[in-house]
Amino acid sequence: MPIIEITAKMWAQRQEDGSRILRYAGDVLNASDADAKRLIAVNAAKSVRKKVNVADQKVETPSTDDVSAPAANQSTDPDESSDEPGKQTTNQDSDEVKKPRKTANDDEWRAYAIHQGMPEEEALEKDRAELIALYA
């Protein structure tokens, strides 16, 4: 069964017992092959990559010799450990604000608009619908 993400506003997924479950845009689920093909064909859903198993992640990790060498270098030199928080703050400064879902509240859309360069006063004056129209 493929994993899909619903892109349509709503989809009523039929269950084996005849009941239906309402699925909304952004929902990720296992769908039957027929449903997945049909929904993807009409752009009502998109295929999602499968999650990596924990066993697969352990195979990809570096050997213990590679891991212990950097750890030893960090703990022996106090100057390097004081430099690392500076490096971390630069990474935190460059973090991007993700585009909120259309169903997000006003504050999330205002924060996104401000991050995109809109002056804070202007963002506070606009309502959610106006911000969505500008940035969606």
What is the per-residue pLDDT across 21-76, written as a single tens digit (0 to 9) for each? 999 998 888 888 899 999 999 999 998 876 545 555 454 445 555 554 455 445 45
In the chain, % of residues over pLDDT 90 = 18
Provide mean pLDDT across the span 80-84: 47
Q: How far is 4 from 110, CA to CA, in rounded Å?
A: 30
Most confident of 70-84, 89-103, 119-133: 119-133
Task: Label residue 118 exposed, middle or buried (CB < 10 Å: 0-12, 13-18, 19+).
Answer: middle
Total-model pTM: 0.37
In the chain, % of residues over pLDDT 70 = 65
36: phi > 0 → left, psi -120 to 50 → alpha, else beta; which?
alpha
